Structure 1
Amino acid sequence: MMKENLRKLIICFMLAVGFLLISSSDAAVSENIWEKITAINKKGPYLGIVVPNSFEMSPLLQSPSFVPLKALPYLDFAGKRFRFGRVENESVIVVMTGLGMWNAGITTQLLVSLFNIKGILHFGIAGNANSELQIGDVTIPMYWAHTGLWNWQRFGDGSDDELALESNGDYTREIGYLKFSDFNTNTSVDNLLNRVWFQPEEVFRIDGIPEIRQHAFWIPVNDRYFSLAKNLEGLELGACANNTTCLPRRPKVIRVERGISSNIFVDNAAYREFLNSKFNATAIDMESAAVGLVCLQQRIPFITMRALSDLAGGGDSSMSNEANTFAPLAANNAVDVLVAFISLLNTRQW
């Protein structure tokens, strides 16, 4: 424990020196901003709450559970607004990422680099790849993967042919592929798009050797967080979008095995079914894996809570693809689960 505390102090000192040197040369962080960051960090550590957009963030900010810090309710830096406050008597920093993997990764890295963060809670809405679940259900996956990193195979090559640069260790066939011709309506016709092979991310851990890469495809959430989340499974969630439009059953909190992310909004039933059968995926979104990858590299515990807003690509049920109607309900349910989870953390004195 002493070694870990010493390591953190050294890192904070190096960051402080670096930022002050930068600020003196009229660059990234001004002396005024750094003074505010230093003052905030003295009151830490904090839970970092990361959310994709204002539509999903607003129910939290409007909740009586969120109490802004009066002295300094927020700090704007690098195009991001970091909001300081308390949720269920736990000190938090709330930040909105914007759409997609790039924004989510950059924002999370800024959060953990600038502030004294002890854990990351990520929440929002998601598409659903599991037709056995319903709109409004809040999923808490054990693993996340980025499924938008591909090696696109040359037309004419088969599954046994080596991929370009595979021999260098840059790419792999271990995870598997999507073959476009499997989705042709005329199965006798080849598809010029051939195959894409799913690839792991390169990871450079904070306690590893710089520029020596490791690889990660399935990113685990924190074991303790995931275990604690089981206590949320009986939580009562909203079931009605308005006075006349309600879901067939009351939504539930459910821990699932896997969620996936990529810079793709999935509204296609064939691809949804592929993702579910290939990866056993439930929640489909555009940010969670990026948040998880940063936390993996920085050794920060994290967990994601995603409320299902639609069955990606639609289905037979009238309740299968009603994102426009039920997205606000899903967003509110995600916030309810987030607040309940923070209450559990606070009660357990983690």
Structure 2
Amino acid sequence: MIGIIGAMPIEVEGLKSRLQNSQTENLAGLQFSRGMLSGVECVVAHCNPGKVNAALCTQLMITHYQPRLVINSGVAGGIGAGIHIGDLVISTAVVQHDMDTSPLGDKRGYLSGIGLIEIPASEKLVQLLGRTATEVYKGAVHTGVIATGDQFICDSAKLHELGRDFGALACEMEGAAVGQVCHVNNVDFVVLRTISDNADDDAKMDYTTFAPIAAQRGIDLLCRILPELS
């Protein structure tokens, strides 16, 4: 089984509507829909925005459904001159940019307990998705670090800071929480993000306009590549 997690309805409803033989279960206030998607057994969940919501959803999914891999799919803000609205970013690693115990001597983003700043995604998944996406995705495909924090970034100075400090290509609010839970449970994961805005001063306007389009591109891509992952 493959687990798919999205933060917002626009990121998961298109997937749930395509599930065959769907069965739905509610756990801790979250809805999990299980069925066949593109011929592959999947469980799809809407976690709601933010790291705590994403972590809760991921642990529930792993505990109750035992997926062999988890994909966190959705939209994100792009970082850097080469990342444009409509592009796709595949995570090589994820970081929590708002985790900061540097006053105690740690580096910014350091995660106590697992001793990492960058949580690596499955290299095999990244390579497979990168190869397949370049053939089917209508837009540029990038691989790199995705930065997560409990903030909607719409500030050019903050945007440049994330690029400088973490080498991030995109920023969002769930991926690194999903990654951390998968890491401690020894479950492969990858984060897929279609770019809805450039996380700058125009981000709010761009997001409203382009998020539904970007989300649909991600849904279409997932449905195309799932058989490659089975």
- State the one-letter code of the partner of 1:223: E
Contact 2:154 2:204 in 1 (8 A): no
Correspondence 1:118-157 to 2 at 5 A = 118-151=68-101
Contact 1:229 1:255 in 2 (8 A): no
- State the one-letter code of the partner of 2:163: N
Deviation at residue 227 of structure 1 after TM alignment: 1.2
Task: Find the aligned partners of 1:265 and 1:307 in 2 and give their Cα distance.
Answer: 15
Residues 300-338 of structure 1 show CA distances to partners (whole Å, capped at 9, x for unaligned) of 0011110100011147xxx99622111111001111222
Partner of 2:12: 57
Match of 1:280 among 142, 164, 167: 167
Contact 2:90 2:130 in 1 (8 A): no
Bigger share in strand: 2
Contact 1:59 1:331 in 2 (8 A): no
Correspondence 1:85-96 to 2 at 5 A = 85-96=35-46
- Aligned CA RMSD, in angstroms, stands at 1.9
Which ranges of structure 1 fall in alignment gaps of 5 or more residues?
1-45, 153-162, 176-197, 204-213, 238-250
Task: Find the aligned partners of 2:12 and 2:112 in 1 and give their Cα distance.
Answer: 30
Percentage identity across paired residues of the two chains:
23
Match of 2:111 among 172, 192, 201: 201
**1:341 correspondence with 2:225:** yes
**Helix, strand or coil: the match of 2:101?**
strand
Partner of 1:329: 213
Partner of 2:146: 259
Contact 2:16 2:44 in 1 (8 A): no
Partner of 1:98: 48
**Helix, strand or coil: the match of 1:91?**
strand
**1:304 correspondence with 2:191:** yes
Task: Find the aligned partners of 1:236 and 1:219 in 2 and give their Cα distance.
Answer: 26
- State the one-letter code of the partner of 2:194: A
Task: Find the aligned partners of 2:101 and 2:188 in 1 and give their Cα distance.
Answer: 30
Residues 105-141 of structure 1 show CA distances to partners (whole Å, capped at 9, x for unaligned) of 0110011011221110110000111222211111102
Contact 1:83 1:95 in 2 (8 A): yes
**1:223 correspondence with 2:123:** yes
Contact 1:148 1:261 in 2 (8 A): yes
Task: Find the aligned partners of 1:336 and 1:304 in 2 and give their Cα distance.
Answer: 15
Contact 1:134 1:320 in 2 (8 A): no
Task: Find the aligned partners of 2:148 and 2:197 in 1 and give their Cα distance.
Answer: 16
Q: TM-score, length-normalised on structure 1?
A: 0.62
Q: TM-score, length-normalised on structure 2?
A: 0.93
Contact 1:74 1:82 in 2 (8 A): yes
- State the one-letter code of the partner of 2:200: G
Deviation at residue 85 of structure 1 after TM alignment: 0.8
**Helix, strand or coil: the match of 1:201?**
coil
Say which one has the larger Rg.
1
Tell me how many residue pairs correspond in the alignment. Answer: 229
Distance verdict in 2 for CA 1:79–1:278, change over 3 Å: same
Task: Find the aligned partners of 1:292 and 1:329 in 2 and give their Cα distance.
Answer: 25
Deviation at residue 199 of structure 1 after TM alignment: 3.6
